[in-house]
Structure formats: C-alpha cells, structure tokens
Amino acid sequence: MDSSLVLVANAKDGTISTFTLTDDALEPLGRSDVGALGMPLAVDADRDLVFAGTNNPRGVTVLRLDRASGALTPLGRYPTQGSPTYLALNSHGGLLLSASYHQGLGEVFQVGVDGMLTAIGDPIAHGNLHSVQLSPDDAFCYFVSLREDLVAQYALSPGGELTPLDPPTVAAPTGSGPRHIVLDSSATAAYVSTEYAGQALHYRRDPVSGVLEKASWATCIPTDRGLSHSRFGAQPRDEDLIWCADLHLDGPGRLLYCSERNRGTITAVEVAEQTGELGRATAHSDVVAQPRGFRVLPNGDLLVASETDRVVARFRPDENGALTEVDRLEVGLGANWIEVIPR
C-alpha cells in the first residue's frame, strides 16, 4: 500500500509532529523538538532534510529526517535577517528562499552539504512579506506583500541572484491584504489569497517572461457568517472580521480551496480548465478551529491544522469540494504548517 510521511509544525511549542499516511489511516509516529518557536517548513525529500524557520532566535534550523521512525535530528541552526514566515526550496534543493512578515524581508540562501546555509546578496524589502513561491523551472520567484497589496516578481539565477521583472510588481486590490500564492501545474496561472477581503485573485502568467497579469477574482469565504472586511492592525476575533489564510489547488487543478480562520471554514472555488479563470464558490465547509494551514493529500483528501485546538483533521471532498471529516489526531500547540513526503 502506498504511504506518505506527514510533518506538522507546531509553532507555539517548537515541535514537529510526524505521521504516516495511507488512504485508510493517518497514524502518529512521534514528535520532535526543534528548540525554537516558528515555524514554516521546507523539505528536501531526496536528502531527507527539513528546514524549519524560527523567530526566537531568528533563523532556520536544519534537521535530518529518519523515515522509519519519523524522528527529526537537528544538524545546524543558521541566522537570518528576518524571522521566516514562509520558506520555499528550488526543485534541486540548492536554494532556499525566505519571506519575513515582521521584518518585511525576502532572503535567498545557498544550501550546501547537510543543509548548511549561506546568504546570497542583500535581502529585498517590502512591507509585511507573507509568502514566496518559485516557478517549476526555478527561473522566477514571487514574494507577496500583505502591507503593500502587491506581488513582487523576480528572475532567479541559478546562483540565487534576484533581478526584478518588468514591471517589478503586480498589484492586488487596495486594502485586500494579499497573503499566500500558488501556481498551477502548467505554470500559466497564479492564485493569491487576500487575508482582509476574503477573495482569491487569479493572475495569468507568461512562462517565458515570468510576468503576472491580474485576470479574475472570486469570493472565497461564506458570505452569510457575519464577517466584515478587515484591515491592517485590526483584531479579527474581537471585531468579527475576515481572516483568510492558506490556499491550495486540488490535484486536477479544477478546484481552488481557501481557508478562513475566524469561522473555521474552507471554501472550494471553481477553476476553468482551459483559462484558469475563477468561477463560483461550489462549497463552504466547516473544518477545525482557526485553520491557518492545510494541504491537499495525494488521494485528494485535505489535511487541516488548527492553530488553537492541538489537532489536525482529514477531510474527504465530494465532486463539488464539500468536505466530510474522516479522522482527527492530536498535534502540538499552534499547528500552522503541513508538509507531505512520499515514501
């Protein structure tokens, strides 16, 4: 039976929970101490290296994964100028990119033997960077600035140098708070979640030039839950404001899933097969409390982490993306990031 390893980062207790996953069950393997709070993850599956961003101290901890036991052993800790909010590896594991929300910095590191990190060049700066993604060919990368309502787009050299594209940025709606970005499998479309507006934005992407062009958008939250448009510096829980977080495409790329933390929902939005245009929301599903991070699993299920309840829950979608819970397991405090590694 095919199986995968699942890593869940627990930001508020500085641990990573490890599970085995089959179509039938999610089984706990163990929990490893990273030694600092964080924590976005990036995984080099070929070398069994796990990179965990930490905020106190600021840096990246590199760990060795034992696939049999699920144990993670620290190999080294490397300082960063910004505390990582999002990490992304290139396809060969030779470059690691970091986006820092609190310091507003984007950094690039060369990855050496046993994950040793060496900073490349000076960081790029935009207000409250929340995520970074690379193109499948490793030639381009995209940093999302929540504070400045934009996506900064760069050519990325094999040596890790960043060169702004023309234009260097592409706008999101004013005050929308763009947060996370994903590319589709053809790399001709990019999708961005907006934390404050409850929208998913679709950008057409030229695979040759790497340039993004805003094309369509869709509401990606339930509109009947009493939530209002949010803003920078607001307290969404106290004021009943929209608080969107993560987004991912399903395997075929025909549904885009988006999480909203205040009401604990995931919404499925149609994606046009030929154009990548966003259509109507097909399902709104109640999931776990405060679902910051989730993943689409190899069999199409969704694994969703709760930032508040020390659980991850697996959900099975129907043809419209409506979710039914399959199982639920304990993790650490502040679970906010999930990685899936084929075994």
Torsion angles phi and psi, residue 161, rounded to 5: -80, 140
- 39-63 tens-digit pLDDT: 899 999 999 999 999 998 999 999 9
- 60-97 tens-digit pLDDT: 999 999 999 999 999 999 999 999 999 999 999 999 99
Which amino acid would we find at residue 47? R
- Average of pLDDT values for 94-101? 98
User: What is the model's pLDDT at position 1?
Assistant: 54
**Counted domains in the chain:** 1
pTM over 0.85: yes
- 160-207 tens-digit pLDDT: 999 999 999 999 999 999 999 999 999 999 999 999 999 999 999 999
% of the chain with per-residue pLDDT over 90: 95
User: What is the model's pLDDT at position 3?
Assistant: 87
For residue 233, the domain's CATH number is 2.130.10.10
185 belongs to a structural domain: yes
Here the tokens at position 190 are 């990019």
21 belongs to a structural domain: no
- Average of pLDDT values for 104-112? 98
User: What is the model's pLDDT at position 149?
Assistant: 98
Asked if residue 39 has a cis previous peptide bond (ω within 30° of 0), the answer is yes
pLDDT surpassing 80 at residue 100: yes
42 belongs to a structural domain: no
162 belongs to a structural domain: yes
279 belongs to a structural domain: yes
- Average of pLDDT values for 219-245? 97
168: containing domain: 140-286
pLDDT surpassing 80 at residue 274: yes
- Average of pLDDT values for 258-271? 98
108: nearest Cα among 90, 99, 120: 120
CB–CB of 218/278 below 8 Å?
yes
pLDDT surpassing 80 at residue 2: no
Whole-number Å distance between alpha carbons of 146 and 154: 17
Please calculate the CA angle 150-151-154 and round it to the nearest 5 degrees.
140
User: What is the model's pLDDT at position 241?
Assistant: 98
243 belongs to a structural domain: yes
* Residues near 171 by beta carbon (within 8 Å), at least 6 away in sequence: 149, 150, 214
198 belongs to a structural domain: yes
Mean pLDDT of the chain: 96
Here the tokens at position 268 are 């499925």
- Alpha helices (H) in the chain, listed in sequence order: 236-239
User: What is the model's pLDDT at position 343?
Assistant: 76
